[in-house]
Structure 1
Amino acid sequence: MAILEVNGIQKDFGSTQVLKNVSFTLEEGNALAIIGSSGSGKTTLLRCLNFLDSPSRGSIEVKGETLFDASWQASQKEKNLRLKRLHFGMVFQSFHLFPQYTALENVTLAERLLAKERTDFKQHKRDIYEEIDEHGKALLEQMGLADRISHYPHQLSGGQQQRVAIARALALKPDILCFDEPTSALDPELTGEVLKVIRGLATQKTTMIIVTHEMAFARDVADQIIFMDDGMIVEQGASKQVIDSPREERTKQFLTRYMEG
């Protein structure tokens, strides 16, 4: 059974259709890469999946539960929106770390805030916080940042900041980890260290959706690739098939232009 089912998503901004009847499924433990030119709708799709934007039409299901249906009344769409977002972890292009917090504090902040809602929080506050901090340290160690837990964002390189952002996204144990062009703000030297982390997550069968302009990376790491153009899915298939032997002429044109560029 698919962990994610996206059915007929459309997103309108005024009279402009940015997403047009987008449908796909994602199996648990798989990585899906989304490629396409700037303005093709990739980031908007990711924002709709994370409920940062509300689709104009369509539905989103995770683990068989309908989290969003555009036919619902507005009150239903907004109900438990924060809980719905917990199904997805989001890693943005520009890190979005809190500059006043250390690496560890950035990773553990959301978990600490959620812990306050636990019925046993007042009774076991110290133990709960210690457990959260240990979890945060383990995630930073996984990212190769064990020696940077007390550093502030301005003391970290761009690649290190993005790895902190990945640890933060993993902290709440989301069903699906989403990346919005995670290397676009990095120079080539730092790009490699972030891609290495994502490769490791793929090896561990972390369910991921990766919007990326790194074609070779998408081919090697993703199980499936979606190519989008003008708000639509033009082609979808196994990663090596889409990159090496695209079936659609528009996909061929995009890849040829990318390789020549």
Structure 2
Amino acid sequence: MPILDVQHIEKHFGDTRVLEDISFSLEQGQAMAIIGSSGSGKTTLLRCLNFLETPNQGKILVNGETLFDADDPATQREAEVRKKRLHFGLVFQSFNLFPQYTALENVTLAPQLLAQEQPDFKARRREILEEISSQGQALLERMGLADRSGHYPHQLSGGQQQRVAIARALALKPDILCFDEPTSALDPELTGEVLKVIRSLAEQKTTMIIVTHEMAFARDVADQVIFMDSGIIVEQGEARQVIEHPREERTRQFLSRYAGS
């Protein structure tokens, strides 16, 4: 059984059909890259998976549980949606760190808020907060930022900020980690350090969906690639096959613009 099963997702904004009949599945421990031109629907698809947008049609299942069904209003209640977002972690292209908090505080804020909803929080407050802080520090160390935990975002490079954002997404132990163009806001010399972290996560069999324009990276790191154009999936399959030997003419035309990337 796949960890993620997306069935016939559609999203419209007024008369504009942004996603049409999107279906795919992802196995636990796999990385999927989604490629395509700007405006092809990639980011909207990620936002639907993270319940930041509500699809007009379709279903989303994680571990066999239906998290969203457009025909079932019970799956769309805000209280339910908040819980379901925990299945996904999202790393934005523009970092979206809180400027008033240190790196460690950015990583630990959401786990602390979640912990406060637990019935035993008051009784175990100090112990729980110390554990969350320790886990946050360990995540920063994993990102190569052990000595930056007390730094504020403005004291960090773009690559360091993005690595803090990755640690923050991992802090809630999501089933699936999603990246929306994680290097697009970075200078070329900083891109490598972020891709190195994502490559490491792939080697550790972290289940990931990566929207990216880095074709060589997608080919080498992803298990599957989906090519989207005009809101539909034009081609999907094993990463090296799609990128090196695409079957569809639209895929070939797109990839020809990235030759040598």
Q: Which residue of 1 aligns with 2:246?
A: 246
Q: CA deviation at 1:225?
A: 0.1
1:102-161 CA distance string (max 9 Å, x none): 000000000000111111111110000000000000000000000000000000000000
> Secondary structure at the residue paired with 1:209?
strand
| Counterpart AA for 1:115 | A
Report what 1:60 is aligned to: 60
**Partner amino acid for 1:236?**
Q
Percent of pairs with identical residues: 74
Extract unaligned runs of 5+ from structure 2: none
Q: Could you say what secondary structure the match of 1:84 adopts?
A: helix
Query: 1:248 is matched by which residue type in structure 2?
Result: E
| Counterpart position of 1:8 | 8
The letter for the 2-side match of 1:77 is: Q
Superposed, which structure 2 residues align to 1:17-32 within 5 Å?
17-32=17-32
Query: Which residue does 2:152 correspond to in 1?
Result: 152
1:34 is matched with which residue? 34
What residue is the counterpart of 1:77 in the other structure? 76
Task: Give distance in 2, aligned partners of 1:44 and 1:152.
Answer: 30
Letter in 2 for 1:66: T
Distance 1:63 1:213 in 2: 29
Tell me, in whole angstroms, the C-alpha distance in 2 between the residues paired with 1:53 and 1:80: 14
d(CA) in 1 for partners of 2:7 and 2:121?
39
RMSD over aligned Cα, in angstroms? 1.0
CA displacement at 1:176 relative to structure 2: 0.0
Tell me the equivalent position of 2:217. 217
TM-score, normalised to structure 1, is: 0.98
**Aligned residue number for residue 50 of structure 2:** 50
**Structure-1 residue corresponding to 2:99:** 99
Judge conservation of contact 2:67–2:75 (CA < 8 Å) in 1. no
**Residue 260 and residue 200 in structure 1: after superposition, are their counterparts in 2 closer, same or farther (change >3 A)?**
closer
Displacement of 1:76 after TM fit? 3.6
Letter aligned with residue 157 of structure 2: S
Aligned position for 1:204: 204
Structure 2 counterpart of 1:88: 88
Q: What TM-score do the two structures reach when normalised by structure 2? A: 0.98
> Deviation digits for residues 17-72 of structure 1, max 9, x if unmatched?
00000000000000000000000000000000000000000000000000000011
Query: Which residue does the alignment assign to 1:139?
Result: 139
1:209-260 Cα offsets, whole Å, 9 max, x none, are 0000000000000000000000000000100000100000100010012228
Q: What runs of 5+ residues in structure 1 fail to find an aligned partner?
A: none
Residue 231 of structure 1 is matched in structure 2 by 231
2:187 aligned residue: 187
**Aligned residue identity for 1:204:** Q
